[in-house]
Amino acid sequence: MSQLEISNDNQVYVNTPNDPSPLLEVWRRLKKHKLAMLGGAIIISFIIIALFAPLLTSYPYDGAVLEDRFLPPLSEGHIFGTDDLGRDLFSRIVYGAQISLRVGFLAVVGSVIIGTILGLLAGYYGKWIDMLISRIFDIMLAFPSILLAIAIVTILGRSLTNALLAIAIVNIPTYGRLVRSKVLSLKEEEFVMAAKALGMKNRRIILHHLLPNSLTPVIVQGTLGIATAIIETAALGFLGLGAQPPTPEWGTMLADSKDYIQLAPWTVVLPGISIMLVVLGFNLFGDGLRDVLDPKMKQ
């Protein structure tokens, strides 16, 4: 039950000790979303696998033994079998989880930071700043994201780092436009108008009022964006523009094994299933998070 308290400066405050915090309320509702919990379990499983990769594997991911080429799954000492160079496929998939998750998280963090800053500036200040930033977003969105990423990697050079930068760059407009549209509606709200009337500086209004109230859709989109970033990383790796051999990136593994799909189908199927599972996990969790954070879904 809420209680009124009067401080020494005669200000009245409302004390609500029994009301759950916003984070606890989100967690309470999220626990009831079965698909979100399934997605979260998949994500946590892959994170644990990535963190403890050295403890889970018995072979180095680049240890080639030509005498052990194309051993089938459940062979002695090789639970997932081996590839065309006799490398343990389980080790490569486990270490590949580190790469895919790291690239996914870092690419989304970079896109969110830059996109949020540009979206705040465009939405709040408007005029020529909004026009300039919006036209840049429109130009970038005119190209399919994977083609734009390919062009950027081609210019910068083939490497996993450049692939990460390319994925981060091509996804900036997604978050920028999302924040811009939210700010355009928020800056007309009464609390923002009151802050301006009180003489509050623009920087304080943006950081303390607009930014916190714009983060909900960004968090949801960021969760879904990790899945997209992982797929784009795999696509660039498959095209030979991402991680270079012998780095055990899942897309690169698919490219290396595509010629042996009839001879050793497990070398293609297992990395493909890994990509599918981790993307499914983020999509399920992101959809559940969207349902929980959407005010219309709270009724």
Per-residue model confidence as pLDDT tens digits over 25-53:
777 888 888 898 999 999 999 999 999 99
Tokens coding 13: 């405050």
121-164 residue pLDDT tens: 998 888 899 999 999 999 999 988 899 999 999 999 999 999 99
Is residue 23 very low, low, confident or very high in pLDDT (cuts 50, 70, 90)? confident
The percentage of residues in the chain with a pLDDT greater than 90, rounded to a whole number, is: 59
Domain covering 45-298, topology = MetI-like fold (1.10.3720)
In this predicted model, what pLDDT tens digit does every residue of 56-82 receive, in sequence order? Answer: 998 999 888 899 899 999 988 899 999
The answer, yes or no, to whether residue 210 has pLDDT greater than 90, is no
Whether pLDDT at 11 is above 50: no
Of 108 and 297, more confident = 108
At residue 7, the pLDDT reads: 44
Question: Tens digit of pLDDT for each residue in 160-204?
Answer: 999 999 999 999 999 999 999 988 888 877 888 888 788 888 888
Buried/exposed 182-210: b ≥16 CB within 10 Å, e otherwise: bbeebbeeeebeebeeeeeeeeebbeebb
Q: Which residues are bridge partners to 4 per DSSP?
A: 14
Band (20; pLDDT cuts 50, 70, 90)? low
Task: Confirm if 254 and 234 have CB atoms less than 8 A apart.
Answer: yes
Q: With 0.75 as the threshold, say if the pTM is over it.
A: yes
Residue 15 has pLDDT above 50, yes or no: no
Which residue shows structure tokens 């626990």? 31
pLDDT of residue 94: 95
Q: How confident is the model at residue 298 (pLDDT cuts 50, 70, 90)?
A: low
Domain ranges of the chain: 45-298
Residue of higher predicted confidence among 205 and 269 = 269
